[in-house]
Every structure is written in structure tokens, then in C-alpha cells.
Amino acid sequence: MRTFILISTLLISAFSFRPCLAQAPAQQPIALDTIYANDHKNVALFFPEPIRQGITGSDNFIFTYNREKEQYFGLLQAKPGKESNLLVVNRNGSIFSYIVRYKKELSKLNYFIPDSSSIGNEKPLVPVITSKDSLVDTIDNKTFYYKKICAYLLNQKQKIGKLKKGSEDILLSVENIVFDTEELYFVIQIENKSTLDYDLNFLKLSVETRQKGKRKSLQKLYQEPLFRYNVPSRITKGETVRLVYVMNKFSLSDDRIAVLELNEKKGERNIELKVSHRYINNPN
């Protein structure tokens, strides 16, 4: 699975002013440990949870880890040059940050990282629900997180493939499918190239299963979004709209397919865009 790496400053700065969303006090600077590496030995870092994302701040440092199947360790190598930093996010959202430096001779080749070394968590920490007010706070925190990620995705030009279908100058396309934490983010575009406004009745995502045998049938199960971002009620003539649907993470077998349905209010310009299991199972 291709790994989608969110810019660390987006997530950390987005939540640093909310005390309940970070484990480290925002007002106190965090002293980062230093890890040394060179270009002829592998330095292994073992984490308490599988690695989901890892990135270095400079090209003369390379951090490799299994992007297809999450594992607990990664390997660091370095070329001579200025010091940089390493940011690692575990499967549970824990964030680890280190200064990395080149060193010709290494005295340590293995680092076993404890939970206590985490500088925070990328997603809102869920507080104990004791009242209706605290429940509202929890919902607001999650909504705030979704909005930040959706806004970031709409500013990206990354595309997953040619997933597009049209009807009478109305074009529906899935530009990107991104996996983050426990959700799938569907970046969707609707183009109105016609001379009439398009009033949106609904935009639904469903999973269809084709039954094999003599009596072939089709089962359809609608997937309710966790969050919708920038969904319009009307797309004026000549307008292009981009939006995001946040769904619970799911995968598909070979005999199942995802279908995005665009339906016009008081009109017949309806579109069904089929998305193969290959795109769902291999998001960015």
C-alpha cells in the first residue's frame, strides 16, 4: 500500500493550541534525542507499535520501512552533510521525533524506542465521557481534525488514476483515495460543463456484490460517511466543485466493487461511477 505522508507541521500545529490534543505541554520546548548513522551500516529503530509513516527532513538521510505491511522497525542510513530530523508516526498515532546526524564511526546500531519517548499523538485524544458537554467536546475535536485533513487534501494535486464518468456534460471523478489512521478520504470532483445549473439530490457511496451461479443477482450496501466536506447543493453552469467524503476504512474482495452515485434533483443527469477493489485496497 502506498503511504500517504501528511506534513508534520500541519498536524502538530493544528492541535498544539488545544491542551487535550497533545501529550506534551505546548509551552515547554521538547529536547530531542540525537541518532547517528552513516552510509555503510544500517541503524535499526524498533518502535512499540508498527510504523505507519516515516520521513526525514533532508535527502542525505534515508529511513526505510515496510510500506506494504506495517512492522515494528525501520532502518536509517546517512550520507555526509548537515544534521536533519526524523519524524515517525506509529499505527496508534504516536509521534516520535529525533535529530539525525552523520557519524563516520558508530558506537550504537540498534535503538529500542519506548512509549515514553513519544512527543504526542497526531489525532485528538478521546476524553472520558462524563456529561453531555464533554460528549460535544469530543465530537468537535474529531470534526476539527477531519476539516484540517480535508482542506489539506483539496490543496494537493495527487491523483490515484483515471476514475471519471460523465452524462450530458456533467463529469464525476474520484481524484484520490487516501488512508489515514482508521479512515479513507475520497477526494471527489464534479464538473458542470453544461449550460444549465445542476441541483444535487444526493451523492452516495455503496458497495456492490455480484452473486455467482445460475441466478445472478446484485446486492448493494450503502456506506454512510463519517464526515462530508465542501459538499454543494448546486453546481452552477461552467463550475467545478471538489469535495471530500470521509469513510470508515474498508477493503473489497475481487467480486465486490464500490459505486459512487450522483443524482440530480428534479432531473435525469444521473451518474454511477464504479471504483475497482484495486483502488480501495491500495489508497495513497
Per-residue confidence (pLDDT) for residue 10, from 0 to 100: 44
Lowest mean pLDDT among 8-12, 60-64, 89-93, 125-129: 8-12
40-57 b/e (C-beta count within 10 Å ≥ 16 → b):
eeebebebbbebbbbbbe
**Nearest CA to 262 among 186, 184, 167, 169?**
167
Domain extents in the chain: 8-125, 164-281
Topology match between the domains 8-125 and 164-281: yes
Per-residue confidence (pLDDT) for residue 148, from 0 to 100: 87
Q: CB–CB of 50/88 below 8 Å?
A: no
For residue 196, what is its C-alpha cell?
Answer: 444549465
Query: Could you confirm whether domain 164-281 is CATH 2.60.40.1150?
Result: yes
For the segment(s) 8-125, the CATH number from 3.30.420, 1.10.3470, 2.60.40, 2.40.128 is: 2.60.40
Q: Per-residue confidence at 158, pLDDT binned at 50, 70, 90?
A: confident
Say what percent of the chain tops pLDDT 70: 80
Burial class from Cβ neighbours inside 10 Å (0-12, 13-18, 19+) for residue 151 reads middle
91 to each of 51, 71, 100, 195, how far by Cα in Å?
6, 10, 22, 48
pLDDT digits (tens, 9 = 90+) for 174-231: 999 998 878 999 999 999 999 999 999 999 999 988 666 555 556 788 999 999 999 9
